[in-house]
Amino acid sequence: DGGITQSPKYLFRKEGQNVTLSCEQNLNHDAMYWYRQDPGQGLRLIYYSQIVNDFQKGDIAEGYSVSREKKESFPLTVTSAQKNPTAFYLCASSQGRNQPQHFGDGTRLSIL
């Protein structure tokens, strides 16, 4: 079945540590997205990529970094500069303008 796979499902970060969240899709979608979800809030866009080797900052990019070396992969690194990283992170992909986004099952990041 085609879909989006996020791993790990749960992740713990120590102070001063960078961690990387994985997102892989086999939908052959060109565009991929990373969102952050906090309790009681909607989704906020961190980064997005419309094509391989290109990506743009979303609304809350500070303290995060991404890469898009392959069409199917869009990893997100939460750096030590992100002072409040505890959240639920969702990856999505879409194909074509105005098409709906398809979501993975998320990674929950917590601070040790």
Partner 1 sequence: AQSVTQLGSHVSVSEGALVLLRCNYSSSVPPYLFWYVQYPNQGLQLLLKYTSAATLVKGINGFEAEFKKSETSFHLTKPSAHMSDAAEYFCAVIGAKAAGNKLTFGGGTRVLVKP
List residues near partner 1 by CB under 8 A: 4, 6, 31, 33, 40-43, 45, 48, 50, 56, 58, 88, 90, 92, 94, 96-106, 108
Judge contact between 58 and 46, C-beta under 8 A: yes
Indicate the residue among 36 and 85 with the shorter CB distance to partner 1: 36
Indicate the residue among 61 and 103 with the shorter CB distance to partner 1: 103
Q: Which two tokens stand for residue 38?
A: 């906090």
Indicate the residue among 18 and 56 with the shorter CB distance to partner 1: 56
Q: At closest approach, how far in Å is the CB of 40 from partner 1?
A: 7
C-alpha pair distances (Å), 77 with each of 40, 56, 72, 97: 24, 15, 17, 27
Q: Give the number of C-alpha atoms closer than 13 A to the C-alpha of residue 85, restricted to the C-beta side.
A: 29
